Amino acid sequence: METSVKDLFDSVIIRFGGELWIKKTWTRRLYERRLIRNIKNVLKHYEVSYSEIVRRHGRLFLRTDSAVEAARRLARIFGISSVSPSLETSSKLEDIIDRSMLLAGHLLKERNSFAVKCRRVGDQSYSSADVCRVVGQRILDEFGEKLGLEVDLDRPDVKLGVEVRNDEAFVYSDVIDGAGGMPFGTQARVVGLLSGGIDSAVACWLVMKRGCPVVPVYFDNMPFTDETTTERALNVAEALFDWAVGFPRKIYVVQHGENLKKIIESCSRRFTCLLCKRMMYRTAERLADMMGAEGIVTGEAIGEQASQTITNLRVLSNAVQKYPIHRPLLGFDKAETETIARKIGTYEISSRKAGGCAAVPSKPSTMAKLEEVIAAEEKLNIKEMVERSIESIKVVKV
């Protein structure tokens, strides 16, 4: 049986996010250890076998017989900039040529253009240019006339990469973009308001990308919404947790409908959405205390909804005294947010038809005065409502 390309590879080159290199040595080592732990968690979760993870300056190398599958999984780990399934060999030039010819023989087709790129670390008897020249010439000698090949250094059909690391070398062809960012778990946790819509999911993912574990909280507004909205939020949380393998897969569900009913009965309808969200913020603040979090994340963007004008955002932020409100999407256009949602796998889920909130007023305030909102809240027992929300919390594992 003929060997396929994916069966050739016996290792994966793992490249770090560039930001790791601006850190002090001890911080970088801490981040690398966290990254390696996350890699091991992902490989274990997806049952990808491997023999060793080797740390080199600026790189990790994974030795595995399932290099293509491993690379696909590793590309979703925060802190990794790119990965490449590769063939490992020694740094002897003849061994590099041998592995390169083997890979080229499986990849090159008739009339293809190709290029050879080399990156070297260490003291070898040859230069990177020597590797590119010798390997390229051997490919032309072996396959050039038979396949009608040509060299194209700018936009080749096939690119062969060679990475030399002291006594070792790795030959590869694909460079798969990674998630980037910082290793997950290197920053403090935050509470994320997760509605199940497009914006809140992307906001949570963006802070996850920066290394922050997110404690997602969903506010169930039934009877003003229905079970389809809750189901959608749980499905979105599940998709986000796939980016955080090895960490808790729990979403905190708050029964918020009774509070919303009190707001509608007691206060001006034009303030309903603002008062509702201010109550959500207060509950999230208490949850942050309980979970040892350092902030609250929302998917709000300027002008996205009536409650999200720059004036109303100030009114919302005033409800929280102890923690900062982080709004990663503040200046994003909707199209930019949707692009990220598609990339991370939440767009289709968030776009599912679900019941809207029946409590939204026909003419919500877009330029609310803080003094008027605070006066409206004097008709509510804020402390009692927050306590009711905290006592109602159900922890759902997904």
Query: What tens digit of pLDDT does each residue of 193-207 get?
Result: 999 999 999 999 999
- Portion of the chain with pLDDT greater than 70, in percent: 99
User: Reduced to 3 states, what is the DSSP secondary structure of residue 53?
Assistant: strand
Per-residue pLDDT for 13 more than 50? yes
Q: Which residues contact 87 (CB under 8 A, 6 or more apart)?
A: 8, 9, 10, 11, 99, 102, 103, 170, 171, 172
Report pLDDT digits (tens) over 302-344: 999 999 999 999 999 999 999 999 999 999 999 999 999 999 9
> Element (H or E) spanning 192, and its range?
strand 190-193
Res. 20 pLDDT band, cuts 50 70 90: confident
Report pLDDT digits (tens) over 335-358: 999 999 999 999 999 999 888 899
Better-scored residue on pLDDT, 100 or 16: 100
Average pLDDT (362-382) is 96
Q: Please report the pLDDT score of residue 2 as a whole number.
A: 56
Q: 63-91 burial by CB neighbour count: b if 16+ within 10 A, else e?
A: ebebbbbbbbbbbbbbbbbbbbbbbbbeb
Per-residue pLDDT for 35 more than 90? yes
Least confident of 20-24, 136-140, 157-161, 184-188: 20-24
Per-residue pLDDT for 7 more than 80? yes
Positions of CATH 3.30.2130.30 in the chain? 5-177
Positions of CATH 3.40.50.620 in the chain? 190-397
pTM of the model: 0.94
CB 88 within 8 A of CB 9: no
Q: Please report the pLDDT score of residue 58 as a whole number.
A: 81
Quote the strand ranges of 279-365, DSSP E: 296-297, 325-326
Per-residue pLDDT for 1 more than 60? no
CATH class held by domain 5-177: alpha beta
Mean pLDDT of all residues belonging to the chain: 95
Q: Return the CATH number of 190-397, one of 3.40.640.10, 3.40.50.150, 3.40.50.300, 3.40.50.620.
A: 3.40.50.620
Per-residue pLDDT for 18 more than 80? no
Q: Please report the pLDDT score of residue 202 as a whole number.
A: 98
Tell me the CA distances in angstroms from 284 to 45, 173, 392, one per residue in order. 31, 47, 13
Nearest CA among 387, 358, 390 for reference residue 253: 390
Report pLDDT digits (tens) over 131-157: 999 999 999 999 999 999 999 999 999
Average pLDDT (68-95) is 97
Contacts of range 282-285, beta carbons closer than 8 Å, 24 or more positions apart: 282/319, 282/320, 282/382, 282/386, 283/217, 283/219, 283/254, 283/256, 283/386, 283/389, 283/390, 284/191, 284/193, 284/217, 284/320, 285/320, 285/321, 285/322, 285/323
- Portion of the chain with pLDDT greater than 90, in percent: 92
Report pLDDT digits (tens) over 200-238: 999 999 999 999 999 999 999 999 999 999 999 999 999
| Residue in this structure with the two tokens 């994320």, named with its chain if needed | 192
> Element (H or E) spanning 164, and its range?
strand 158-165
Report pLDDT digits (tens) over 256-293: 999 999 999 999 999 999 999 999 999 999 999 999 99
